[in-house]
Amino acid sequence: MHRRVITFSKNAFLPLTTVCQNRCGYCCFRTPVEEGCVMPPDEAILTLEASAALGCTEALFTFGERPGAVPGFTEMLGRFGYADILDYVYDLSLAAIERGLLPHTNAGILTYEELGWLREVNASMGLMLETTADIPAHGNSPGKDPAVRIEMIENAGRLSIPFTTGILLGIGETADDREESLRVIADLHRRYGHIQEVIVQNFCPKPGTAMEGAAVPGPDEIAAAISLAREILPPDVAVQIPPNLADASRLIRCGVNDLGGVSPLTIDYVNPEHPWPQIDELRRIAGDAELRERLCIYPQYIEKGWYSSLLEPLIRRLAERIAAPGRDAGA
């Protein structure tokens, strides 16, 4: 019998700005326009270089959605010579590639044209669906309209972009909503074949947010959602859990086959109170399964050639590196 495989990616987490047009009731990532709300280019480059030196293969670029819609942000970004955050992430993606890291961008809602443009410098991209339900926590967040998010995920499929999405548990949705969300994702993948992984993420209350006192999903509830995801999603779609947010060693038995991106250098800026587990801890979580490092673009999409010519040499080189015989996971 084949030994079960659990995968993960070694990444650098770069939050390019904390300014966001959305006002989600559970978010502590968003800040107003203020000093320090944009990561300076020199800091980003240093992070990329240090992460590459530690063996990382992925540069995860995350930032608030449409920060340019927030008054004052464009002037703040202009200090670094950019008029639009997407131009900034494009240039930093080039810088990541030059340093041996594959870019993966989570930018919130993007148009078809923007997705196509960023595809040239990104090995994969992502957007959490979160839920198909209309919930109070998203009342002041235009980018969290389920129809808008589904359209973007569909556009990524039309453009053959290897894509990450997921659901967020405990933000006001019901069990039926979770099932509907997973079925929508499964349907999109059957039509376009581009969903490489689905994150099942539990909500963690943050002090100072509107939902700081909200009830959190318990272990059994999270386990049930993971099992439902594995049941509904096609077998070639990985089910991922963030190993820093719950008892991953218990949940992994419910059908999880990926532990996402973890960083030996940068923190989880969205959940800063929850440190990333390091490689030895990931091995403990994996138990008797084989822990195997992967790239941010999954092997089936490398085989299909779902990447730009600019990225091909680096993808091939990194794929050979992590597949080297005798290479220990995370070495």
CATH superfamily for domain 5-323: Aldolase class I (3.20.20.70)
Higher pLDDT: 138 or 312? It is 312
List the domain boundaries for the chain: 5-323
- At 84 the three-state DSSP class reads coil
24 is in an annotated binding site: yes
**Which H or E element spans position 296?**
none
pTM above threshold 0.85: yes
Q: Which of 327, 309, 331, 330 is nearest to 97 (CA)?
A: 309
**Would you state the pLDDT for residue 239?**
97
Mean pLDDT of the 144-172 span: 97
Angle at 121 between CA 116 and CA 126, to 5 degrees: 65
Confirm whether residue 254 is marked as ligand binding: no
Between 2 and 238, the more confident residue is 238
CB-count exposure of residue 239 (10 Å: 0-12, 13-18, 19+): buried
At 276 the pLDDT is 67
pLDDT digits (tens, 9 = 90+) for 167-191: 999 999 999 999 999 999 999 999 9
Q: Is 27 annotated as a binding residue?
A: yes
Check residue 327 and give its pLDDT. 53
| pLDDT at res. 36 | 93
pLDDT (tens digit, 9 = 90+) per residue, 14-35?
999 999 998 888 887 788 899 9
**Whole-number pLDDT of residue 29:** 75
What values do phi and psi take at 16, rounded to 5? -70, -30
